[in-house]
Structure 1
Amino acid sequence: MTVSHTSVFTPMAAELPPNVTEDTVTTINADLADNHVATVDGKDQTELAAIAADAREHGIALNIVVVPGNQGYESLRDLATEVGQTQHGTVLVLADDWVGTYSDSVSRVRLEWAEDKAKFNGGHSVEAARHFVDKLEQPEVVSWTTIAGVLLAGTAAAVVGLYFVKSRRRAEPAAPVSVSDSDSDRASTA
């Protein structure tokens, strides 16, 4: 009898937006070299370059890519990942209403938190990029490390407390059971 261990969950292939080819990715990487902004449709980059420069001054190595149309979310993230493999830092890919990001220095949780504010801006890439950077520059309100530590400490305290209660119960002597005469008579006749 042979057993096959094939996985049902195979990773999905990375897919670039429909109008973006490998040659376009090469062009995007070349365009990012001068001001950390690339626009596939040739839009003016001046305001976006100022936003990227501001982010870099605040410690966020940001590259901004603008693609035309309303691409799917996954394809924008795939494009950001593709560009991020060459550029490093944080890559923000903007479409009309969707955003894709990649970063080797910012957590996925923070990226998605910032993405929420940058989505649905109707193709106003400058406004979307500004919202994204503003969110990333805000101090983290919730420290997930602290929350995880508190939950772990609480769980450990509960386990120790239960162990203590069980050990005390085990150590208590059992109360003697008194058997009355009528009970012993019934037991012997049964």
Structure 2
Amino acid sequence: MTVSHPSVFTPLKAELPPNTDLKTIIADLADDHVAAPAGRDQEALAAIAADAREHGIPLDIIVVQGNPGIEANLRDLANEVGKIEHGTVVVFSDDWVGTYSDQFTRGHLEWAEDKAKYRGPDHTTEAARIFVDRLEQPETISWTVITLVALGVLLAAIGGLYVVKARRAQR
């Protein structure tokens, strides 16, 4: 009897926020690295993107209206744009943030996202500035070092227990 579960290993298709046209966004990013609906402060966002680029962060900023059904849709949009534009892409909705970067770790991106979320639709410029400011800060935690230290402690504990067990066995 053969049992097949192909859906278990099939990755989900990226889902973009509703009413999102990827080609229009890419075209809008071409002039100032910002794609935002009318009414959002596109000039201020363009200044933030330009400032980030001057500091070595190839940044594209996208703003979508409202909040999509789930926050992951923003990351999906950032990933799709990132495949084409490369660099770092940040997508803002009214309250959420989605990111992609081939320069920063996922942990650093999410750390920068955390302070930029929940600012509301009238504070996208403030959220973008916070995001970029945090990206420009060096990563303070090296997960490799933490992992190596934890592994060293674990090995020392195992070695210590082995020595104690060996001494008890000799008595």
Instruction: Give the TM-score normalised by the residue count of structure 1.
Output: 0.80
Rounded to whole Å, the distance in 1 between the matches of 2:101 and 2:135 is 12
- Choose which of 79, 90, 93 in structure 2 pairs with 1:92: 90
State the Cα deviation string for residues 128-170 of structure 1 (Å, max 9, x = none).
Answer: 1011111111222322222111101111111222222333334
CA apart distance, 1:65: 0.6
The amino acid that maps onto 2:17 is: P
Instruction: Give the TM-score normalised by the residue count of structure 2.
Output: 0.88
Q: What is the RMSD of the two structures over their aligned residues, measured on CA atoms?
A: 1.9
Alignment partner, residue 187 of structure 1:
none
- Choose which of 76, 87, 99 in structure 1 pairs with 2:74: 76
Aligned length: 168
Out of 135-144 and 96-105, give the one that drifted further. 135-144
Rounded to whole Å, the distance in 1 between the matches of 2:141 and 2:41 is 37
Partner of 2:139, secondary structure, is: coil
Rounded to whole Å, the distance in 1 between the matches of 2:127 and 2:15 is 23
Partner of 2:94, secondary structure, is: coil
Gaps of 5+ in 2: none
CA apart distance, 1:35: 1.8
CA apart distance, 1:9: 6.3
Determine if the alignment matches structure 1 residue 37 to structure 2 residue 34.
yes
Gaps of 5+ in 1: 175-190
CA apart distance, 1:43: 3.9
Higher relative contact order (CA 8 A, sep 6+): 2
Alignment partner, residue 101 of structure 2:
103
CA apart distance, 1:76: 1.0
Identity of aligned residues (%): 62
Partner of 1:64, secondary structure, is: strand
Aligned residue runs from structure 1 range 19-34, under 5 A: 19-20=19-20, 24-34=21-31
- Choose which of 46, 61, 68 in structure 1 pairs with 2:43: 46
State the Cα deviation string for residues 7-54 of structure 1 (Å, max 9, x = none).
Answer: 54653321111111xxx2112112212221111447442111111122
Structure having the higher Rg: 1
Rounded to whole Å, the distance in 2 between the matches of 1:29 and 1:155 is 49
State the Cα deviation string for residues 57-101 of structure 1 (Å, max 9, x = none).
Answer: 222221101111222311111111110100111100011111111
Rounded to whole Å, the distance in 2 between the matches of 1:8 and 1:28 is 33
Rounded to whole Å, the distance in 1 between the matches of 2:168 and 2:58 is 60
CA contact (8 A) 2:41 2:125 kept: no
- Choose which of 110, 113, 116 in structure 2 pairs with 1:112: 110
CA apart distance, 1:125: 1.4
